[in-house]
Every structure is written in C-alpha cells, then in structure tokens.
Amino acid sequence: MADSGSAPARSRGNLPPLQLHVPEPRFRPGDQVDYSHIVVPPAGAQTRPDETCDPIETKPLCVDLIRVLDDEHRAVGPWDPKLDPETLRRMLRSMALTRAFDDRLYRSQRQGKTSFYMKSTGEEAISIATAFALDREDMVFPSYRQQGILIARGYPLVEMVNQIYSNRADKLKGRQLPVMYSARDYGFFTISGNLATQYPQAVGWAMASAIKGDTRIATAFVGEGSSAEGDFHAAMTFAAVYNAPVVLNIVNNQWAISSFSGFAGAERATFAARAEGYGIAGLRVDGNDILAVYAAMQWAADRARANGGPTLIEHFTYRAEGHSTSDDPSAYRSVQEREEWPLGDPITRLMRHLIALGEWSEDQHAAMDREVAEEVKAATKQAEKNGILGHGMHHPFHTMFEDVFEELPWHLEEQADQAIRERRTKFPDWKPEVPESRS
C-alpha cells in the first residue's frame, strides 16, 4: 500500500486544490514598520454600560478599544475613573518601581547572579491598575509578567530577589524557576510555567467562593498565545455555565516567545470577541492607558461582586523587551516595532497626564526614578547576602524532599540520606552555609 503522506495531490473534476494558510507577521527584522492597520479610536468615545448589563450589550466593546487618556493627556469620556492626584502619583511610582526592578534584575542575570529573568517593560499599567482596582483580599492567578501586582501590594522586594536568586532565604526553597513567585498572604497564587493552567484554577477558586457565600472574587492572566491552550476554553465554559465571579484577562502584547499573535487567532477576530461565543461580558482596552485599564478592571470586578458573572478583558499592548533573558527578539521582529507602537509607553502617558493636571513635573519624575532605583539596589544588595547563583548558600539537600507529606515516608527518608551522602562524597571540602538537617 502506498504511503498516503507522500501521495501526489489529486484533483477531482473542476474543484480547486485545497490550500493551507500559515499566518505571517507583517514585519520581520530589517523591515520598515507601518502600524496603519491598527485602528486607534478617539479616547472617550466608547460607551460604558451598567456593570449588571446583559452580556450582549458589551459586544461593541469587544471590537472597539476603551481609552481614557487623549492626545492632549487629558482624561475624558464615561470610562474616566476620576482618580485623585495622590492615587495617580502612587500608581505612577508603582509602575516606575516595577520597571526599575526589572532593569536591575535583568542586569543581575547578565552578571550570572541568577539563571533567568522576565521583564514586563511596556506592560506595567496592566498589573498596577489591577492591583489598585481590586480589593486587597481578592485572589490573583497571574502569569509571569504580573510582578507589578506584588510590588503594588507591598510585597517586600528583597523577598522577590531571594526567590529569583534561589538562595537560602528563598521562601520557596529553590523549587520554582526564578520569577515564579507565590505569596498567599498577598492574594497572589503560585505562578506556573505550564501556560494557561491558572485559568481553570481561578474559575474554580471563584466558584468555591460563591459556594461558600464569600465576597472575594478571582482574576487570572494569560498572554494571547496561551489563549490557544485547551485550559483557556475549559475555564471559559465553566465560568459561563456557573456564572463564576471571576475576571479573565488576556494580555495581547502581540508576540509569544517568537511567534506573533496570528498563531493564536488574532487575524480572524479580537481576543475579547471570544467572550461573545461563551455568552459572557467582554471588554477590549488600551493596555498602555492605566486609567482605561483601571476602569475596565473595576467595572468587571463590580460586575462579578454583583453576581453579574464573569468578564473577559483583552489588554491591547506591546511587549517592548524580549520574552525572557533567553530570547533575542531581533531575530524575529523589526527593531522599529517598539519605537513605532502607536499606543506609546504607559509610564510616560501617566506622567504627562499628571503634568497636564499641574500635579507633577519632569524634575519630580527624575527624582522619583532615582529614588526607586536606589530602593531596588538596596533590596538586591540585601538579598545577595543570602546567596546568588552558584555560591552554595542554598537550602539543605534534605528540604527537597519536604513539604509534600505531613510525615516523610521511610523511602523518601532513605533517598534524602543517600543524596546527602553522595553530595559529601563528591564534594568533601564543601561546607554549606546552612547546616545539613541530616547527619
């Protein structure tokens, strides 16, 4: 029998041959960038339905783009959350602190102090606005570019650096990849490197909150590439069927690791439009406009708390840096993309808004940048005293077998003892900074 995989194409009558479509990005390295295909509507032109509206009323907002800050740096339209200047300054500082943290830890990875890092440059407004819009008790199921939520909620920077360095003070005991934080006391669920797993987890948590008659809601984040995972659709189904009090976010930053958003379906429709097919509310928001993101998140959170059901939010933004320290974006996209991105930089936009209000100045902004840089520097210096990559100041070997069973089974005790003996045999001169827990 002939191999069907290598058989020549056959035509039947006058039927045209079938063709397979493979998405291609508009720009590759060296290309001139033209973003004229992106429709940027006027700020303030989008209607704001009531939080308890029928999901069908949000259909126009799934293809539009909710914007608040206009070209004159004013907050306009019905989505303006009308935040006071002090709150705006706190949000600006949180974004600046997040970017300063990213910049320094990126350099730490290049210096060999840690194995891996992921920056959120250009996407800070999404995480900071979320932290400010949600209640402190609400549970966040993040992806790996929402470190700003921890920072805005006041999680100690030194604890974040300890985790990145996987040192002896790392509360996760070196078991997680750097930047995969977990902070239950701060409403921050453990980050998973397996993409989209957090979506059904968030929906399940929200369902449990409803079953218990609690008042806390959940929110979850994925990148647009991860929205092609099966977990995304399972979560959407459960959220819709059980009217779960959850806000589901897609951060559409245009690129997965090296493939553009078309491979996740962006050529056919907006990601927010998927809400319509599941019968839930959907919003599409300018992800570089922190006021618009805040307003959208607050709207969706209020809807969930009022038992109006889930909301899917697409944050339309751009990943300004590489996917991670293991990535070189110049190998697959034009360097002009970042410079030409039509929605600007989120920190610059909020800064200019505050200046237009007469509540900020460029000198104040420069002073703030210096201040947050020093704050991050102090945190990294303190964390480095607990060890960095390859310096041996880590948790004892025995801890890798702990924290699964209440009482360690005999066979794991044997494995732990064997691991310690083999380590001593292989490195007889090595003296751990932390005493071994087994003799």
Pinpoint the alpha helices (H) of 281-409. Answer: 290-305, 336-340, 346-356, 362-384
Over residues 155-161, mean pLDDT: 98
Residue 149 has pLDDT above 80, yes or no: yes
Residue 434 has pLDDT above 60, yes or no: no
Lookup result for tokens 């897609």: 250
- For the ranges 14-23, 279-288, 393-402, the one whose mean pLDDT is highest: 279-288
The answer to whether 328 touches 110, Cβ cutoff 8 Å, is no
Over residues 43-63, mean pLDDT: 98
Determine, yes or no, domain membership for 22.
no
Same domain, 318 and 424: no
Q: Please give the structure tokens belonging to residue 247.
A: 């806000």
Same domain, 355 and 232: yes
Same domain, 372 and 294: yes
Classified as helix, coil or strand, 69 is strand
Label residue 162 by pLDDT band (50, 70, 90).
Answer: very high
Closest CA relative to residue 346, chosen from 78, 98, 65, 87: 98
Mean pLDDT of the chain: 94
Euclidean distance between CA atoms 176 and 372, whole angstroms: 27
Residue 429 has pLDDT above 90, yes or no: no
Determine, yes or no, domain membership for 39.
no
Euclidean distance between CA atoms 68 and 45, whole angstroms: 9
pTM above 0.75, yes or no: yes
CATH number at residue 83: 3.40.50.970
What is the total count of domains within the chain? 2
Strands 311-316 and 281-286: what pairing?
parallel
Burial of 234 (0-12, 13-18, 19+ CB in 10 A): middle
Euclidean distance between CA atoms 123 and 56, whole angstroms: 29
The answer to whether 279 touches 240, Cβ cutoff 8 Å, is yes
Same domain, 405 and 349: no
In the prediction, which pLDDT does 328 show? 94
Same domain, 190 and 292: yes
Determine, yes or no, domain membership for 351.
yes
Range of the domain at 411: 396-439
Residue type, position 68, single letter: V
Same domain, 319 and 413: no
Label residue 5 by pLDDT band (50, 70, 90).
Answer: low
In the prediction, which pLDDT does 203 show? 98
- Cβ-Cβ contacts under 8 Å for 18 (sequence gap 6 or more): none
CB atoms within 10 A of CB 173: 17
In the prediction, which pLDDT does 12 show? 77
Residue 226 has pLDDT above 70, yes or no: yes
Same domain, 79 and 174: yes
Residue type, position 382, single letter: Q
pLDDT in tens, 267-315: 999 999 999 999 999 999 999 999 999 999 999 999 999 999 999 999 9
In the prediction, which pLDDT does 439 show? 40
Same domain, 298 and 402: no
Residue 181 has pLDDT above 50, yes or no: yes
Beta-ladder partners of 220: 141, 248
The answer to whether 356 touches 73, Cβ cutoff 8 Å, is yes
In the prediction, which pLDDT does 341 show? 96
Same domain, 305 and 404: no
In the prediction, which pLDDT does 432 show? 61
Q: Which helix (H) or strand (E) holds 312?
A: strand 311-316
Same domain, 230 and 101: yes
Over residues 393-401, mean pLDDT: 86
pLDDT in tens, 198-212: 999 999 999 999 999
Residue 185 has pLDDT above 50, yes or no: yes
In the prediction, which pLDDT does 394 show? 84
Euclidean distance between CA atoms 195 and 231, whole angstroms: 9
pLDDT in tens, 338-383: 999 999 999 999 999 999 999 999 999 999 999 999 999 999 999 9
CB atoms within 10 A of CB 244: 26
Determine, yes or no, domain membership for 209.
yes
Residue 392 has pLDDT above 80, yes or no: no
Determine, yes or no, domain membership for 17.
no
Determine, yes or no, domain membership for 376.
yes
Determine, yes or no, domain membership for 18.
no
Determine, yes or no, domain membership for 10.
no
Please give the share of the chain, as a percent, with pLDDT higher than 70: 95
Euclidean distance between CA atoms 348 and 330, whole angstroms: 24
The answer to whether 178 touches 164, Cβ cutoff 8 Å, is yes
Over residues 224-238, mean pLDDT: 97
Same domain, 315 and 179: yes
Lookup result for tokens 């402190």: 136
The answer to whether 78 touches 302, Cβ cutoff 8 Å, is no
Same domain, 374 and 423: no
Q: What is the DSSP-derived secondary structure letter of residue 313?
A: E
